[in-house]
Structure 1
Amino acid sequence: MKITAIPQLYRNLKRWREILAVLRRYGLADWLSRYQSLPFRDSFKDSSGVPLSQYSSEERVRMALTDLGPTFIKLGQILAARPDIVGPQLGNELKRLRADVQPDAIEKVRQTLTKELGEQYLSQFQFIDPNPLATASIGQVHRATLNDGRHVVIKVQRADIERTVRQDMEVLGGLAQLAERVEGFAAWGPCQMVSQMSTMLQRELDFGRERQNLEVFAEMLSSQSTKVVVPKPVRELCTRRVLVMDELAGEPLSKVLSDSHHGGVLTVDATLDGERHQLSESIARIYLTMIFDEGLFHADPHLGNLLLLRDGRLGILDFGMVGRIDETLRESIEEMMGCIATGDQNRLTRLIRRIGDAPPTLDESLLAIDVAEFVGTYGRQHLSDFDLTGALNELSDILHRHAIQLPSQSALLLKMLISLEGTLRELGAGFDSLDIVHQFVRKSMLRRLSPRRRVRQARRIYLEAEHFFEVVPDEVLTLLQQARRGEMRLTLEHQRIGPTVNRMVLGLMASAVFLGSSLLLAMKVPPLLFPEQSVLGMKEMSVFGLLGMMMSFSVMMWLLLAINRSGHLTRSNED
């Protein structure tokens, strides 16, 4: 740890203790759960008195994040979108994370509104409901009415949440630096992961970004369909910590479905088979249009964020997290789906490696076997029987097993597709959602072959070639001039050479001590052991020589064991 990190460590010492106490508690419970016969195995219990050892490892991780507070809950929700890192099982468990936090008192909400909108903010409103409509880890929502009678909702950031997030991210940064020193964790790049999460959290803390997203999606969806509505923000009343937007009059689909079940049978007119079919198909087409036509998508399409409005239209909420994919990534996704359909496992393997960040130790033969099995399982399924969620989860499992990390936007897209498929299943969609996917893929493939795209591609290649031929001659001349003047330098950097050099130096020192000790013993340098009579054949043994021999022998044995543990003792166990 760097010296510059000491003030930060001291500043967050209390939070460090709290986090380590929670991690120690759940870590010990996880360790004890492996031993059925221990009498104190059930000593750690949750708030309801149930022993933690009775929960699965994934459930204990979720419970630990819940105990650690809002920042870690939000981080868990972000990790739920990265099944390539945490695996499908833990990812599915983390989706259950909900911020069970007490709402801020209305006095704190008013203080935030005064600070953000000014002392006269009440003159803009006829009424503000003191009871929150919804509460989350970062903010809470209140109903309100503007002076012109417009019904709105106010999303207000929680008091001191920015300071809490900053403090927790500093602690997580310290933990990530420690994890970088552990070979098993270092492969996942913990520091880079924490940095990405910190960026995502900072974006969610800025309600100004969500306001921009609302405006962009409103314009985009209005040109695509008149059956979709997103809340319209009141720009003059929006700041970094306050977001005022239209209230959509309707019910969340989660509530509609729960109210519609009676003995397991849907009975409400609004959710009859024909209307559910139409609603499900509309949702699928909207989200696939976002992906394949716009390259911009709403990242969390669960039932709570989708509203069924009174006029029958669909409302979409919560644009704090959106995803963007560029044309290259979109084309790669289209090619991957084509490879699955045609059974081209070699091409699919190359695409996975091209899109993802593969570790240097990747076993390509094992990856090819897993991909071949994946294609064999899902490539021959009929569209009506295709399990999109199962396919996406198995693909996530393959990525996790081979430590292949996806770019953040690719992982967000994967999470969105899994969530979308789950939403359509909850709706009981009576249509083939994969057939719609194939329609969009065929449309995208035709677009790729269009003359307009070819002209645009040729223009890009021409501009890049022009830049290349302008820059390269100067660079070549510079290299030739440096070589003529003898200024050419070649810098080689060997990874992980430090431990090797340390072991070599330690081995040389142990050998030198061994030789010196041998001389001390041979020359009988005092002080001596057994100077008068022989004991077990030993007489006049130099104390320093004997100690030196024992120390050098211990160091040599330790080096031998360390090299053996690293797997590089003999040629047969080299990577």
Structure 2
Amino acid sequence: MFALAQNTSRQREILEVVFRNGWEYMRRLLTGGRADEPALPTPAVLRNILIDLGPVYVKLGQLLSTRPDILPPDYTEALTALQANVPPVAWAEVEVLIRKQLNCPLEDAFETIDREPVAAGSIAQTHRARLMSGEEVALKVQRPGIETVVEQDISIIHGLAELASRTDIGQDYDVVALAEEFTSALRAELDFTKEANFTEQLRKNLAESRWFDADEIVVPAINWTLTSSQLLVMEWLNGKPILTAELPAGESGDAKRDATTTLLFRAFFQQIYIDGFFHADPHPGNIFYLDDGRIALIDCGMVGRLDPRTQQILTEMLLAIVDIDARRCSQLTLELAEAGQPVNMLRLENDYDRMLRKYYNLSLSQINFSEVFYEVLQIARANRIQMPSSLGLYAKSLANLEGVARGFNPKLNLLDEIKPLIADLFRRQLFGTSPLQTLLRTTLDLKSLSLQSPRQVEVLLDRITSESLHWNITLRDLDPLRRSLDDSANRLSFSIVVAALIVGAAIVSANANSSQATVIGNALFAAASLIGLWLMISIVRSGRLR
């Protein structure tokens, strides 16, 4: 049938999990029963299946939670907080792996290592350690043997993707390509040098800013001497997850919360709208409030990228949402979408109009912008518009950021935080980071246009006068009209044939002087009657008699 039908222990385990959690369609399909229309399990069942299947499938669920353009809201909501219940690996196994990854004896590199991990995840676990120099570091150690499990499960995921491609969602989206995207990301996540590079890039980008004090936000430094593909060694930061941090009561605590909230928004808006390289998983456990009052971003394994064109479109989309402009939202959605997709613009505008109508009577401070953008992706999904995967990460990052900020500072006024940033973004898009550079570039463009225009006009006039100008015009939705015209022409032709047969039969019968002529006339009448009856039946059955 496909990969799951083969007889291996891992595949049998997957079948047992599927049966135990009650995915009825899969149960009927694999037990030889009658499988009706393919159907995904309910959100709760899908979440439980992924948790039971282990780390690789939990990662798959986390990836799917970033794609509201593919899955309905109830699915993305069920998968958003998906975490694997993974017990830590015993120190004896971890120590063996660390020794293999180091270029020197363990005792020469570290003065001490805590044997109990401070955190255990689906791919790795983290230990606290001290270098021989006395510096405190965090060791992120890959779970021993995880590569074998990943490779085994990847082949099965491709089989599941082939099955899912026959469901309603699979018919609208290339789930096989989505599975390939996920497996590539998963293999990349097994190489900790990539995460180290991401961390270093983010650290460099946030080292300076015109929006905030760069000294107030921290990204851990990487120890490149000891870091390898399965061992990530980085600076240890003393602090707590932001939502568990204890701030002083009263006005000083409130002022610190306001300042921290502003810092977070400005740091992430710079990542998204200026750098185009952003931390794509800012959940409460990855944002730390340090003991010295600074903010730290950790776990940079998942990042998103936006090119300048997408950044500009997303900025304009925010303005279109604020202006409740359904038409502009539709145009910007098509600019964001992958090229070559047929779209019903009227339906798309109506969907946006219904969505934005909810915000007519709300002030800007009451609008949840991350929720609005999730709705934008859902409208794209409803209209079968495929959006780049980076937009799912963008939406998830905004939603996580807004959730953390509101949890940390319930008095948050989102409009006050983003209004000055949006104004500055539009100024940057209009004039660039250097007004003089923008002026010079515009001057060169105008010079090029002035030099080329006369020649282009001459060529156009030449082609018009020589009758060599060809127009390539493509009109959408002409096929139904063409088929309708073909049907009408065919019926008209048959009607003419019937009329000709009747007239011919009448002439033959009127001048019949022999039995042969009478037979011919009757045959013509019979043929006309049969064709006429068939024509009437086809018109009635088409429902277009009126």
What TM-score results when the alignment is normalised by the length of structure 2?
0.73
Q: 1:462 to 1:94 in 2, by over 3 A?
A: farther
Amino acid at match of 1:83: P
Amino acid at match of 2:385: I
Q: Which runs of 4+ in 1 moved over 6 A?
A: 29-32, 457-464, 570-573
Q: 1:399 deviation in Å?
A: 2.8
**Which residue is equivalent to 1:320?**
301
- Provide the C-alpha distance between the structure 2 equivalents of 1:342 and 1:127, rounded to a whole number of angstroms: 59
**Which residue is equivalent to 2:150?**
165
- Provide the C-alpha distance between the structure 1 equivalents of 2:177 and 2:130, rounded to a whole number of angstroms: 44
**Which residue is equivalent to 1:58?**
43
**Which residue is equivalent to 2:476?**
none
Judge conservation of contact 1:341–1:379 (CA < 8 Å) in 2: no
Counterpart secondary structure, 1:235:
coil
Q: 1:213 deviation in Å?
A: 1.6
- Provide the C-alpha distance between the structure 2 equivalents of 1:158 and 1:295, rounded to a whole number of angstroms: 32
* Residue from 405, 408, 414 that aligns with 2:395: 414
Q: 1:355 deviation in Å?
A: 1.1
Map Cα deviations across residues 176-202 of structure 1 (whole Å, 9 max, x no partner): 223334565232111110011112212
- Provide the C-alpha distance between the structure 1 equivalents of 2:372 and 2:286, rounded to a whole number of angstroms: 24
**Which residue is equivalent to 2:233?**
244
Judge conservation of contact 1:306–1:314 (CA < 8 Å) in 2: yes
Map Cα deviations across residues 233-287 of structure 1 (whole Å, 9 max, x no partner): 111000011000111011111322xxx5xxxxx8757983221111111111111
Counterpart secondary structure, 1:297:
strand
Q: 1:429 to 1:149 in 2, by over 3 A?
A: same
Amino acid at match of 2:156: V
Confirm or deny that 1:212 pairs with 2:227.
Answer: no
Amino acid at match of 1:200: A
Judge conservation of contact 2:196–2:232 (CA < 8 Å) in 1: yes
Task: List gaps (5 residues or longer) in structure 1.
Answer: 33-55, 261-265, 467-569
Counterpart secondary structure, 1:85:
coil
The equivalences for 1:245-264 within 5 A come to: 245-256=234-245
Q: 1:135 deviation in Å?
A: 0.2
Judge conservation of contact 2:18–2:26 (CA < 8 Å) in 1: no
Judge conservation of contact 2:322–2:364 (CA < 8 Å) in 1: no
Judge conservation of contact 1:378–1:391 (CA < 8 Å) in 2: no
**Which residue is equivalent to 2:281?**
300
Confirm or deny that 1:428 pairs with 2:409.
Answer: yes
Counterpart secondary structure, 1:152:
strand
Q: 1:74 to 1:348 in 2, by over 3 A?
A: same
Judge conservation of contact 1:80–1:90 (CA < 8 Å) in 2: yes
Amino acid at match of 2:220: P
- Provide the C-alpha distance between the structure 2 equivalents of 1:461 and 1:75, rounded to a whole number of angstroms: 50
**Which residue is equivalent to 2:140?**
155
Amino acid at match of 2:286: N
Q: 1:349 deviation in Å?
A: 0.6
Map Cα deviations across residues 117-161 of structure 1 (whole Å, 9 max, x no partner): 146132111101110110000000000000011011100001111
Judge conservation of contact 2:380–2:386 (CA < 8 Å) in 1: yes
- Provide the C-alpha distance between the structure 1 equivalents of 2:265 and 2:366, rounded to a whole number of angstroms: 17
Q: 1:446 deviation in Å?
A: 1.4
Counterpart secondary structure, 2:70:
helix
Counterpart secondary structure, 1:101:
coil
**Which residue is equivalent to 1:23?**
18
**Which residue is equivalent to 2:323?**
342
Moved more, 335-344 or 107-116: 335-344
Q: 1:246 to 1:444 in 2, by over 3 A?
A: same
Confirm or deny that 1:176 pairs with 2:171.
Answer: no
Q: 1:361 deviation in Å?
A: 6.8
Confirm or deny that 1:195 pairs with 2:184.
Answer: no
Amino acid at match of 1:247: W
Q: 1:30 deviation in Å?
A: 9.2
Map Cα deviations across residues 337-368 of structure 1 (whole Å, 9 max, x no partner): 12112232112112112212489575443322
Q: 1:9 to 1:113 in 2, by over 3 A?
A: farther
Counterpart secondary structure, 1:144:
strand
Q: 1:571 deviation in Å?
A: 6.5
**Which residue is equivalent to 1:383?**
364
Counterpart secondary structure, 2:207:
helix
Amino acid at match of 1:57: T
Q: 1:229 to 1:182 in 2, by over 3 A?
A: closer
Judge conservation of contact 2:280–2:393 (CA < 8 Å) in 1: yes
Larger Rg: 1 or 2? 2
The equivalences for 1:262-281 within 5 A come to: 272-281=253-262
Counterpart secondary structure, 1:211:
helix
Q: 1:14 deviation in Å?
A: 2.7
Q: 1:386 deviation in Å?
A: 1.7
**Which residue is equivalent to 1:74?**
59
**Which residue is equivalent to 1:531?**
none
- Provide the C-alpha distance between the structure 1 equivalents of 2:46 and 2:165, rounded to a whole number of angstroms: 20
Judge conservation of contact 1:277–1:429 (CA < 8 Å) in 2: no
Task: List gaps (5 residues or longer) in structure 2.
Answer: 28-40, 452-540
Confirm or deny that 1:353 pairs with 2:334.
Answer: yes
**Which residue is equivalent to 1:48?**
none
Q: 1:187 to 1:370 in 2, by over 3 A?
A: same
**Which residue is equivalent to 2:216?**
227
Confirm or deny that 1:367 pairs with 2:348.
Answer: yes
Judge conservation of contact 2:338–2:386 (CA < 8 Å) in 1: yes
- Provide the C-alpha distance between the structure 1 equivalents of 2:78 and 2:135, rounded to a whole number of angstroms: 40
**Which residue is equivalent to 1:115?**
100
Quote the sequence identity (%). Answer: 32
Judge conservation of contact 2:195–2:301 (CA < 8 Å) in 1: yes
- Provide the C-alpha distance between the structure 2 equivalents of 1:31 and 1:171, rounded to a whole number of angstroms: 14
**Which residue is equivalent to 1:331?**
312
Judge conservation of contact 2:268–2:278 (CA < 8 Å) in 1: yes
Judge conservation of contact 2:238–2:291 (CA < 8 Å) in 1: yes
- Provide the C-alpha distance between the structure 2 equivalents of 1:455 and 1:90, rounded to a whole number of angstroms: 50
- Provide the C-alpha distance between the structure 1 equivalents of 2:197 and 2:251, rounded to a whole number of angstroms: 33
* Residue from 262, 265, 269 that aligns with 1:284: 265
Moved more, 68-77 or 438-447: 438-447
Amino acid at match of 2:315: E
- Provide the C-alpha distance between the structure 2 equivalents of 1:245 and 1:328, rounded to a whole number of angstroms: 34
Counterpart secondary structure, 1:145:
strand
Q: 1:81 deviation in Å?
A: 1.1
What TM-score results when the alignment is normalised by the length of structure 1?
0.69
**Which residue is equivalent to 2:78?**
93
* Residue from 400, 404, 410 that aligns with 2:385: 404
- Provide the C-alpha distance between the structure 2 equivalents of 1:85 and 1:304, rounded to a whole number of angstroms: 26
Judge conservation of contact 1:70–1:99 (CA < 8 Å) in 2: yes
Moved more, 149-158 or 284-293: 284-293
**Which residue is equivalent to 1:549?**
none
Judge conservation of contact 2:243–2:408 (CA < 8 Å) in 1: no
Q: 1:326 deviation in Å?
A: 0.5
- Provide the C-alpha distance between the structure 1 equivalents of 2:446 and 2:185, rounded to a whole number of angstroms: 33
Q: 1:383 deviation in Å?
A: 2.1
Q: 1:20 deviation in Å?
A: 2.6
Aligned Cα RMSD in Å? 3.1
Q: 1:171 to 1:571 in 2, by over 3 A?
A: farther
Judge conservation of contact 1:309–1:315 (CA < 8 Å) in 2: yes
Count of aligned positions: 433
